[in-house]
Amino acid sequence: MSMSMVSKQSLLQPLTTTQLRRRVHLASSSVPPSRLRTRALMATENSPKVIDSHLHVWSSPQQAAEKYPYFPGQEPTLMGHVDFLLESMGEAGVDGALIVQPINHKFDHSYVTSVLKQHPSKFVGCCLANPAEDGTGINQLEDLLSKDGYRAVRFNPYLWPSGEPMTNEVGKAMFAKAGELGAPVGFMCMKGLDLHLSEIEELCTEFPSTVVLLDHLGFCKPPQNFEEEQIFSKLLNLSRFPTVYVKLSALFRVSRNPYPYEDLTDALSKIVSSYGANRIMWGSDFPYIVPECGYKEAKEAVCQLIQKAELSSSETEWIMGRTVYQLFNSRWSFL
């Protein structure tokens, strides 16, 4: 047998494990370290990011005593300072978050503003609208959005003067200003979406350029009777406004079951069918979620719901971070 025939036969023989390892080692060792670092950086940059679209932070008792006081009567019972949040996010593998101004500091945004300035690549801020009758909240909102770096605003209907709807003169002025400055408006309908649905529809119709975020699934629990089915249908019907988005957040507030809140599976499927995953975003409601199940577990619960709802990997990516990332024009920087 000739040497050429031997060589050809040896090429056809399967490689041993040792030979394979050697070839992989030689191939990798031939790549310059700088290129390996570049590849790792590109992999990190292109990997799906997990962004929490709804959480809160407030000062520690010591910080409150020294610099960032709580609003009287709104002293927190839970730990919620930023160091605790950063630790929780690290353990859970969460890359960034939208911080919503907490009621504990009410309209004093100084603590959250300090956090945004300390961690500009980690956090984006959502301020709290001040619907004072004298209209001073309109200028305050403009300053927070234009000067202090906030990118969204929250409408809490229960802060409006008694008997006044969010569609009053001040409310419409703030809603219009938010749209003008490209800031989404989040609605907290804690006492029920049906109580505020007509106001939201009126604002969406009159100011179609303002983006709307429905906090915590609009506080719609999985329906158990005809009346609840009607309300949930109205939540789905709001998808007719292309500027309305839904936060899949604070699951413990809308589920009837304990962790991992599996009764929300059908609701999630229907919301994705109506809105599309690119208009849905996950949120934890930290730190309130911590005593309920834990921060890391909150993220895991959403992942389990997504899996049970049999959503695709693309839909998962949208819900877990891409929706909020694109909505806020990539304000987060992870490098």
pLDDT at residue 44 in the model:
46
Q: State whether residue 311 is helix, strand or coil.
A: coil
φ, ψ at 261 (rounded to 5°): 60, 45
The mean per-residue pLDDT over the stretch 17-24 comes to 47
- The runs of H, that is alpha helices, within the chain are 3-12, 17-29, 33-46, 61-66, 82-92, 110-118, 136-146, 169-180, 197-206, 226-237, 251-254, 265-275, 289-292, 295-308, 313-317, 323-327
Would you tell me the crossing angle of helices 82-92 and 295-308 to the nearest 10 degrees? 40
* Residue scoring higher pLDDT (237 or 25): 237
CA nearest neighbour of 213 among 79, 309, 323, 89: 323
Of the ranges 14-23, 39-48, 81-90, 114-123, which one carries the lowest mean pLDDT score? 14-23
Question: What dihedral angle (degrees, nearest 10) is formed by the CA atoms of 316, 322, 324, 330?
Answer: 170
pLDDT exceeds 90 at position 34: no
Are 96 and 51 a contacting pair, CB within 8 Å? yes
List residues bridging with 128 in a β-sheet.
154
Q: Which region holds residue 20: left if phi is over 0, alpha if psi is between -120 and 50, else beta?
A: alpha
pLDDT at residue 32 in the model:
59
Tokens of residue 57, six digits: 């932070």
pLDDT at residue 333 in the model:
73
Of the ranges 3-12, 130-139, 151-160, which one carries the lowest mean pLDDT score? 3-12
CA nearest neighbour of 56 among 282, 288, 214: 288
pLDDT at residue 334 in the model:
58
pLDDT exceeds 70 at position 183: yes
Question: How many separate helices (H) and strands (E) can be counted in the chain?
Answer: 16, 8
The mean per-residue pLDDT over the stretch 18-29 comes to 47
Query: Pairing state of beta strands 185-187 and 212-214?
Result: parallel
* Residue scoring higher pLDDT (123 or 25): 123
Q: How would you list the strands of the sheet with 212-214, edge to edge? A: 51-55, 96-100, 123-128, 150-155, 185-187, 212-214, 244-249, 280-283
The mean per-residue pLDDT over the stretch 78-97 comes to 98
Question: Which residue's entry shows tokens 């004072």?
Answer: 132
Secondary structure letter of residue 104 according to DSSP: T
* Residue scoring higher pLDDT (47 or 145): 145
pLDDT at residue 31 in the model:
55
* Residue scoring higher pLDDT (92 or 47): 92
Amino acid at 41: L
Q: What is the pLDDT of residues 139-177, one digit of tens each?
A: 999 999 999 999 999 999 999 999 999 999 999 999 999
pLDDT exceeds 80 at position 40: no
> Around Cβ 127, how many Cβ atoms within 10 Å?
26
The mean per-residue pLDDT over the stretch 210-234 comes to 97
Are 157 and 186 a contacting pair, CB within 8 Å? no
pLDDT exceeds 50 at position 91: yes
pLDDT at residue 1 in the model:
47
Provide, rounded to the nearest whole percent, the portion of the chain with pLDDT above 90: 83
pLDDT exceeds 80 at position 15: no
Are 214 and 184 a contacting pair, CB within 8 Å? no
Q: What is the mean pLDDT of the chain?
A: 90
The structure's pTM equals 0.86
pLDDT at residue 3 in the model:
44
* Residue scoring higher pLDDT (270 or 45): 270
Secondary structure letter of residue 71 according to DSSP: P
Q: State whether residue 224 is helix, strand or coil.
A: coil
Q: What is the pLDDT of residues 244-263, one digit of tens each?
A: 999 999 999 999 999 999 99
Angle made by CA atoms 330, 333, 335, in degrees to the nearest 5 = 140
Distance of CA 202 to the CA centre of its chain: 25
Q: What is the pLDDT of residues 60-70, one digit of tens each?
A: 999 999 999 99
